[in-house]
Amino acid sequence: MKTILNFSFALLLLFGISVNSKAQNQIEIVIVASSHDNSKSTQNFQAIIDKLKNFKPDMVFGEYLPATDYATLSDDHWAKQGFAKKVNYITRLNPEPLKNSAASIKKRQKALTSFPYYHKTRMDLAVEYAKNWDRGNFDYQMFVLENQMKTRFGKQEQATYSKMFGSLDSLKKLGIIRPGSEYSKIYFPLIYQLGQNQIYNMDCQTYDKPWGEAWSKMASAYKVMAQKAKADSLSPEGRTMTAIDKYWVYSNEEEKKFSADEYAGMATAKYGELIEAWNFYGGRKFYGYAGFPTETLKDMVAQWTNRNEGMCKNVIEQARAKNAKRVVVGVGAAHRVWMEEILAKNSGVKIINYNDLK
């Protein structure tokens, strides 16, 4: 009897160690639903930054395309065209060819880690990131230069900065400096206050073309349904449209609560349901409703899921490579629920809701 008890205890001990080991190896991930335009927001952004700082993330990810992915996009792709304008602008001002960029970037990062006020080093690093098509880290270094370092420049450094990057008006016009973005308001200050010097890129545009096609078909199908509903409100389409109209609105009380703290609001289950409804013509809730183009929406959802799966894959692979334990992912609010659903299937991930942070 004693032998059996000892053996059972050993199994329980082993199982406990296994469970604890699994928990220890999990990556804790906070997906922060974000607004791309915060220019008119009354949000207390430092409070958000402090909450995320207390989480002590090892890595902060942004909805930026990995540098190597740009080469896979066609020249007429909106993301490639948009960043190409910035790259061309920087290249015109800084025409010197790059030499051994990877080693140079690593050397400059190391220097800035030891002393963040090597201003010319940071300027050179920003140029290298732009020419290497690393938009996330180009944007980050430009943010630090403009918002943290510029007031510390000596006279010669001011002249060098103007020569290398032009005027603030030009930088804003090109979208290199974006004061109202979630990055300028939250994620870049967060990285800087954490004493880190890099943002990690995790977007995925591999499925952009089929996504656009599926979206266009759904928009057309929804328009047909809406026209039928307008012609006869008692038709099957009319009753479905009435249900959608009722479903995708906030009550006055909910709207008031959301406006008081937008980022807390965007982390709620209610907002997750609503933003899906707004972006997906009612959303998955209306699959099978009379007159609703269910199969057409499923095609749209499939492509959206593909993109979010690609984004999650980029996060996990980079986090594993860095042995990260805690990760913050800043992403457009429409992605949060989808990414959480995908990541929750991974036993190596623990999802933590923004509103559960202290």
β-pairing, 59-62 with 200-201? parallel
Per-residue confidence (pLDDT) for residue 99, from 0 to 100: 84
For 351, the token pair is 């999802």
Question: Would you say 137 and 198 are in contact if contact means Cβ atoms under 8 Å apart?
Answer: yes
Q: What is the mean pLDDT of each run of 10 residues along the chain (358 residues)?
A: 47 48 79 97 96 98 97 95 97 92 93 96 97 98 98 97 98 97 98 96 97 98 98 97 96 89 96 97 98 98 98 98 98 98 96 96
Distances (CA, A) of 120 to 117, 164, 223, 244: 9, 10, 55, 56
Q: Which long-range contacts (CB under 8 A, 24 or more apart) does 281-288 make?
A: 281/218, 281/219, 281/222, 281/244, 282/244, 282/247, 282/248, 285/247, 286/240, 286/243, 286/244
Question: Would you say 161 and 150 are in contact if contact means Cβ atoms under 8 Å apart?
Answer: yes
Classify each residue of 98-108 as buried b or exposed e, where b means 16 or more C-beta atoms within 10 Å of its C-beta: eeeeeeebeeb
For 31, the token pair is 């997906």
For 353, the token pair is 């809701």
Per-residue confidence (pLDDT) for residue 332, from 0 to 100: 98
Q: Which long-range contacts (CB under 8 A, 24 or more apart) does 265-270 make?
A: 266/33, 266/34, 266/35, 266/333, 266/336, 267/32, 267/33, 267/336, 267/353, 267/354, 267/355, 268/355
Per-residue confidence (pLDDT) for residue 25, from 0 to 100: 81
Q: Where are the beta strands (DSSP E) in the chain?
A: 27-34, 59-62, 200-201, 326-332, 349-351
Question: Would you say 224 and 281 are in contact if contact means Cβ atoms under 8 Å apart?
Answer: no
Per-residue confidence (pLDDT) for residue 24, from 0 to 100: 64
Per-residue confidence (pLDDT) for residue 247, from 0 to 100: 96
Select from 16, 337, 36 the least CA-distant residue to 187.
36
Per-residue confidence (pLDDT) for residue 23, from 0 to 100: 57
Question: Would you say 61 and 202 are in contact if contact means Cβ atoms under 8 Å apart?
Answer: yes
62 pairs with which residues across the strands? 201
Per-residue confidence (pLDDT) for residue 12, from 0 to 100: 46
Per-residue confidence (pLDDT) for residue 257, from 0 to 100: 87
Distance CA 248, CA 280 (A): 11
Distance CA 28, CA 89 (A): 39
Per-residue confidence (pLDDT) for residue 57, from 0 to 100: 98
Q: What's the whole-model pTM score?
A: 0.91
